[in-house]
Amino acid sequence: AQKVTQAQTEISVVEKEDVTLDCVYETRDTTYYLFWYKQPPSGELVFLIRRNSFDEQNEISGRYSWNFQKSTSSFNFTITASQVVDSAVYFCALSEAHGIYAGNMLTFGGGTRLMVKP
């Protein structure tokens, strides 16, 4: 069975601070995908990143960066110089990488609510 744990239920920071959102996962699959989604108050889940389990290279996209460590089953997400518009709930998710469900049937964590104060 797959499981995703986001231990931080709520984080509050002041604008321009850096913040890291933790994600730990469990799976018996040897290949899998990891995701991060953002859910603003409007409710729509916004895709941020997908990472293949074979690719442990860290990724940076603007103020966002992701640290994938297979050895500790973690896929952490860092926002540098946070802004008020970053306030949202962030979800980490996991999916299998083979078969008809590959990449889209997601197991989500419980989410981390990030509040960025001006």
Interatomic CA distance for residues 6 and 25, integer angstroms: 9
* Alpha-carbon torsion angle 60, 64, 36, 75, nearest 10: 60
Give residue 44's Cα distance to chain centre: 16
Tokens at 72, concatenated: 């500790």
Shortest distance in whole angstroms from residue 52 CB to other proteins: 9
Q: Does 102 bind other proteins (CB under 8 A)?
A: yes
Q: Does 1 bind other proteins (CB under 8 A)?
A: no
Q: Does 54 bind other proteins (CB under 8 A)?
A: no
Tokens at 82, concatenated: 């946070």
User: CA nearest 38: which of 3, 105, 102, 87?
Assistant: 87
Q: Does 111 bind other proteins (CB under 8 A)?
A: yes
Q: Does 60 bind other proteins (CB under 8 A)?
A: no
Shortest distance in whole angstroms from residue 105 CB to other proteins: 6
Contact residues for other proteins (CB under 8 A)?
Answer: 4, 6, 9, 33, 35, 37, 42-47, 50, 91, 93, 97, 100-111
